[in-house]
Amino acid sequence: MNTRDTQCQFTVAPTELASALAQGAALSLPGALINGKCENGGGGQHFVLDPVTGSAIGEFHAATAVQVEKAAKAAARALPSWKAKNRLERARVLRAIADRIEQAHDELAALQRHNNGKPAGEAEVDVLDVINTFRYYGDVCANMKNLQVEDLDLGVASYCAQMHYEACGSVALIVPWNFPMVTTAWKVAAALAAGCTIVLKPSELTPVAELALANLIHEAGLPPGVLNLVFGSADTGRALVSHPGMAKVSFTGSTETGVAVMRECAQRMARVSLELGGKSALIVCADANLNLAVELAVSGAFCNAGQMCSATSRILVQDSVYDEFTSRLKAAVEALKVGGPDANMGPVISARQLEKILGYVARAHADNIPVLAKGHLPEDTPPGFFIAPRVYADVPHDHPLWTEEIFGPVACVRRFSTYQQAVQIANDSQFGLVATVVTENSEAAKTMSDGLQAGLVWINAPQMIFPGTSWGGFKRSGIGRELGVAGMRAYQEMKQVLRTA
């Protein structure tokens, strides 16, 4: 293997990375971070782009299967020591990580803007999410006395039992490009709290912030080999998923790739968690606060340029308020600022993603689907991967605009008559990730939330996600849950020890 020989010096500190990008420098990035050391990849060259400008800001060579093997061995060597750490020692490290990230908040937000194209406000929220997630799992380790061992009440005096929760082993974590650092924190913090060691593969499109985050994690005191990174695309991912040393695979991405991951894991009975696609609904009832409903519709469909598995891109509006709501929605969409320093919607991630979205737009035009609302791109919009937001009306229930996850700023709106009909339309999907209900009627809210097939239902609320709750969906939106105690337990095996009293 040609690793371009190895452990070279790379810029990995958030301050240095942010400064280099601000000065227009091209970053030379590692292909792997193994046992605490960066090294060149031996695979193909990847250019890293700024979606705002479309220009290259860095490059790296992908990690090869040999380097994935090296990372897996490093994780295996580090496992006995990290697994043996008691919950208080894990808490100390996780809290130190949160503190170190908080200190680098501004630099990480800048990296998120440069490599993902997010507007400033969204980038800052992402960093806060990362901090809160590590801090939450640090607190779990500090305060949850049955994190590792739990006494069981058998109801029989002659026997006693304990449930031991043990790290499942070294785990493979594969994260997407739409929320760099955030999805990583959800997985990494939970796995570390559980006692696992890790091989992480970030998206090849957004390695910069992920590398900076890994640097901070190690600076905070995580031992070498507990967290290893391999950068690359599908070949690197396949090598990681199929590696026999990975006791569990946790994957976030498309449903199609998730099916392939699950199939590979089934071959060796590896544990697997999948957080996949969505095509979620926002339900606006007749008694809704329409200003709030429009605000939630716009943020639910167009935050992160619609590149969210939780995007509520199917908007259902009760008949009696349909005209008033759509009039207000049209004005709000047309007022969105796309691109520029005060933007509230940024670009999509790549030229390929832009082309995919424009394909749906062309299909809608060819099928004469009426455009209810369309934003615009200002003349001074940077030359990146920008697209104006769109809302379509009267979309047939079997049209790709209504049924498929577009992952872009495209939404559809339809009428409904009764609460029962709204729930039926919302559930008529292969996905079941989230839903939003906007109503002042608490009984109606309960009836609909009870009937909706979704892992999370927001009622009159923005898409807030708290680390102590849970994240995951029904049907083809995935398997398992992230966040909360359940997210940590997903990285542990249960062992019962029974003995005579």
Confidence check: pLDDT of 3 > 80 = no
Confidence check: pLDDT of 433 > 50 = yes
How many CB atoms lie under 10 A from the CB of residue 53? Answer: 15
248: three-class secondary structure by DSSP:
strand
Query: Mean pLDDT over residues 477-495, rounded?
Result: 98
* Per-residue pLDDT at 341: 81
Query: Mean pLDDT over residues 25-33, rounded?
Result: 97
Question: Measured between alpha carbons, how far is residue 61 from residues 48, 69, 116, 274 in Å?
Answer: 11, 17, 20, 27
> Alpha-carbon distance 251 to 235, whole Å?
15
Question: Measured between alpha carbons, how far is residue 433 from residues 463, 479, 480 in Å?
Answer: 12, 11, 12
> Alpha-carbon distance 28 to 111, whole Å?
15
> Alpha-carbon distance 2 to 488, whole Å?
38
Residue of 124, 275, 405, 482 marked catalytic = 275
Tokens, residue 178: 């739409």
pLDDT in tens, 133-188: 999 999 999 999 999 999 999 999 999 999 999 999 999 999 999 999 999 999 99
Query: Mean pLDDT over residues 115-123, rounded?
Result: 96
Question: Measured between alpha carbons, how far is residue 155 from residues 161, 164, 226, 355, 501 in Å?
Answer: 11, 19, 40, 63, 12
Give the full edge-to-edge strand order of the sheet including 45-49. 27-28, 56-61, 45-49
Query: What is the DSSP secondary structure assignment for residue 222, as one 8-state letter?
Result: P
Tokens, residue 55: 């220009």
Query: Mean pLDDT over residues 52-62, rounded?
Result: 97
Task: Kindly report the pTM of this predicted structure.
Answer: 0.96
Query: Mean pLDDT over residues 118-126, rounded?
Result: 96
> Alpha-carbon distance 48 to 60, whole Å?
8
> Alpha-carbon distance 437 to 418, whole Å?
13
- CB contact set of 365 (below 8 Å; sequence gap of 6+): none
Query: Mean pLDDT over residues 16-43, rounded?
Result: 96
pLDDT in tens, 350-408: 999 999 999 999 999 999 999 999 999 988 888 999 999 999 999 999 999 999 999 99
Is the CB of residue 226 less than 8 Å from the CB of residue 82? Answer: yes
460: three-class secondary structure by DSSP:
coil
- Domain 63-276+478-496 and domain 281-467, same fold? Reply is no
Q: Tell the CATH topology of 281-467.
A: Aldehyde Dehydrogenase; Chain A, domain 2 (3.40.309)
Confidence check: pLDDT of 2 > 70 = no
Is the CB of residue 57 less than 8 Å from the CB of residue 96? Answer: no
* Per-residue pLDDT at 1: 33
* Per-residue pLDDT at 51: 98
Buried b (16+ CB within 10 A) or exposed e, 235-258: ebbbbbbbbebbbbbbbbbebebb
* Per-residue pLDDT at 256: 97
Domain ranges across the chain: 63-276+478-496, 281-467
Is the CB of residue 310 less than 8 Å from the CB of residue 278? Answer: yes
Architecture of domain 63-276+478-496: 3-Layer(aba) Sandwich (3.40)
Active site residue 264: no
The number of residues making up the chain comes to: 501
Query: Mean pLDDT over residues 410-435, rounded?
Result: 98
Confidence check: pLDDT of 4 > 80 = no
pLDDT in tens, 311-360: 999 999 999 999 999 999 999 999 999 988 888 999 999 999 999 999 99
Mean of pLDDT over the chain: 96
Taking Cα atoms as reference points, which of 345, 330, 334 lies closest to residue 381?
A: 345
* Per-residue pLDDT at 39: 97
Report the amino acid identity of residue 308: M
Tokens, residue 401: 């605009």
pLDDT in tens, 178-236: 999 999 999 999 999 999 999 999 999 999 999 999 999 999 999 999 999 999 999 99
Binned at pLDDT 50, 70 and 90, residue 71 comes out as very high
Report the amino acid identity of residue 99: D
* Per-residue pLDDT at 8: 54
Residue labelled with tokens 């994690």: 217
pLDDT above 70 covers a percentage of the chain that reads: 98
> Alpha-carbon distance 302 to 296, whole Å?
10
